[in-house]
Amino acid sequence: MPFFSNLGSDSPHFGAALSACAPLCERSLWGLDPQAVFLNHGSYGATPKKVLQAQSVWRERLEAQPVQFMGEELPRALRAAAAELAHFVGAEPENLVFVENATSGVNAVLRSLRFRPEDQIACTNHGYGAVRQALQYICAQWGAIPVEAQIPFPIAGPEQVIAAFEAILTPQTRLAVLDHLTSPTALIYPLPELIGLCRERGIPVLVDGAHAPGVLPLELEKLGADWYTGNAHKWLFAPKGCAFLWVAPYRQAQTHPTVISHGYGQGFTAEFDWVGTRDPSAWLAISAALAFIQGVGLDNIRQHNHTLLLQARQLLLEALEGIPPAPEEMLGFMATLPLPPFWQQWIPELPLGERARRLHDYLWYKYRIEVPIIPFAGQLWVRISAQVYNRLAEYEQLALALQHLP
């Protein structure tokens, strides 16, 4: 079922929603460069000043008496912060731990598992680069084989994801690694259906939900996954280094942090809550991030971002004479769009990745527009994000900048 079904561009409310698409928040609430057009919330998020101030208060408390803080205050404060985040993502607090980022969450799981030679790990070709590398590493260690489902892009609908993924599952599949919202193509995968396919076959599922918290409603205890990792520093406005790993109770005994420390053997949360001396302020500031969201209103944010995204996508597709590469029902707050043929043929003697980097840099240095250019499936794409501080005029600037070669 589409997550934003009442907001599609064919909805009678779309026009009204569009005209109301002024920024929902003053951009000055963020430290973003006022001269820049920032259309890339997706890569690293952007943290409101208020949340950073709350993080600083935690740091000051730590530094006032580090020994007391780490030994006495932190264990309780960390569990309280985990409980708040757990509530937001539909999880039991004792099943959720903080990690520094989704990459760490994925690595903790992959490096906890044991495989035999020829075991297969199912994943898809839209997976995030770092996660695909971690899979390569694990497979090289054990002699296992990563098997990538080839999900088409452009894509007609979620059923194409389901069909392509089902086709690669075999009796040798020992694990599935699935995105919730893909990075290069910004697609919402039909996760419940994909997990269903795995459960029917007894295949454990690790979900890379790096982009999902804040974009999609989450009910982790009901989803049916075995592990789920997500970032709070992207769409939940938390400081960098705030992410979580949820683990189903029956998987906790076999799941360990990548760094083993004092908590080893003392249970799941004890192992992850202390991984050596570090700055825990980003994790503790989750409360301030969730309060910021509550202040603006989660529904307001979701409505604003998704509507602005669809409007911006339409504007860019018209300006660049492109065809929508995905149905609206597969989009959240980001969309990946094809660049016109003249960009595809620009400096053809260079590798695609290098051309993507040069176009990104051109947009930044000439126009002060930050937007990722994605080399994917042999083509160049542009991935736009929509956030509460963005306005439609910024996407118009991007469209103008992309209408001709340098």
Ligand X SMILES: Cc1ncc(COP(=O)(O)O)c(C=O)c1O
* Residues 245 and 99 sit within 8 Å (Cβ to Cβ): yes
**Using the rule CB under 6 A, is 41 a contact of ligand X?**
no
Cα 332 to the chain's mean position, in Å?
11
Whole-angstrom Cα distance, residue 116 to residue 216? 35
**Using the rule CB under 6 A, is 231 a contact of ligand X?**
yes
**Using the rule CB under 6 A, is 336 a contact of ligand X?**
no
Shortest distance (Å) from residue 237 CB to ligand X: 14
Identify which of residues 4 and 128 has a Cβ nearer to ligand X in the complex: 128
- 41, 211, 355, 383: which one binds ligand X (CB under 6 A): 211
**Using the rule CB under 6 A, is 328 a contact of ligand X?**
no
Identify which of residues 55 and 101 has a Cβ nearer to ligand X in the complex: 101
Q: How many CB atoms lie within 10 A of CB 168?
A: 16
**Segment contacting ligand X by CB under 6 A, of 128-136, 318-326, 340-348, 383-391:** 128-136
Identify which of residues 231 and 307 has a Cβ nearer to ligand X in the complex: 231
Give the residue among 215, 226, 227 at the shortest CA–CA distance from 189. Answer: 215
**Using the rule CB under 6 A, is 128 a contact of ligand X?**
yes
* Residues 256 and 108 sit within 8 Å (Cβ to Cβ): yes
Shortest distance (Å) from residue 230 CB to ligand X: 9
Identify which of residues 105 and 325 has a Cβ nearer to ligand X in the complex: 105
**Segment contacting ligand X by CB under 6 A, of 204-212, 319-327, 370-378, 383-391:** 204-212
- For residue 127 the two structure tokens come to 């997976």
Number of residues that bind ligand X (CB under 6 A): 13
Where are the alpha helices (H) located in 241-337, listed in sequence order?
A: 268-273, 281-284, 286-296, 298-320
- Let me know if 324 is exposed, middle or buried by CB neighbors in 10 A (0-12, 13-18, 19+): middle
- 47, 95, 101, 269: which one binds ligand X (CB under 6 A): 101
Q: What strands, in cross-sheet order, belong to the sheet with 173-179?
A: 96-99, 243-247, 227-231, 205-209, 173-179, 120-124, 145-149
**Window 168-197: residues binding ligand X (CB under 6 A):** 179, 183
Shortest distance (Å) from residue 387 CB to ligand X: 15
* Residues 111 and 283 sit within 8 Å (Cβ to Cβ): no
Identify which of residues 21 and 97 has a Cβ nearer to ligand X in the complex: 97
Whole-angstrom Cα distance, residue 360 to residue 356? 6
- For residue 269 the two structure tokens come to 């949360």
**Using the rule CB under 6 A, is 40 a contact of ligand X?**
no
- Let me know if 291 is exposed, middle or buried by CB neighbors in 10 A (0-12, 13-18, 19+): middle
- 113, 124, 208, 293: which one binds ligand X (CB under 6 A): 208
**Segment contacting ligand X by CB under 6 A, of 123-131, 164-172, 199-207, 290-298:** 123-131
**Using the rule CB under 6 A, is 319 a contact of ligand X?**
no
- Let me know if 294 is exposed, middle or buried by CB neighbors in 10 A (0-12, 13-18, 19+): exposed
Shortest distance (Å) from residue 117 CB to ligand X: 27
**Segment contacting ligand X by CB under 6 A, of 126-134, 269-277, 292-300, 374-382:** 126-134
**Segment contacting ligand X by CB under 6 A, of 3-11, 157-165, 206-214, 379-387:** 206-214
Shortest distance (Å) from residue 39 CB to ligand X: 15
**Using the rule CB under 6 A, is 102 a contact of ligand X?**
yes
**Using the rule CB under 6 A, is 103 a contact of ligand X?**
yes
**Segment contacting ligand X by CB under 6 A, of 99-107, 220-228, 248-256, 296-304:** 99-107
- Beta strand extents in 145-297 (DSSP E only): 145-149, 173-179, 205-209, 227-231, 243-247
**Segment contacting ligand X by CB under 6 A, of 125-133, 138-146, 345-353, 384-392:** 125-133
Residue by residue, DSSP assigns 25-81 as: S-GGGB---TTSEE--HHHH---BHHHHHHHHHHHHHHHHSHHHIIIIIHHHHHHHH
- For residue 273 the two structure tokens come to 């809550």
Whole-angstrom Cα distance, residue 182 to residue 154? 13
Identify which of residues 17 and 235 has a Cβ nearer to ligand X in the complex: 235
For ligand X, the binding residues (CB under 6 A) are 43, 101-103, 128, 130-131, 179, 183, 208, 210-211, 231
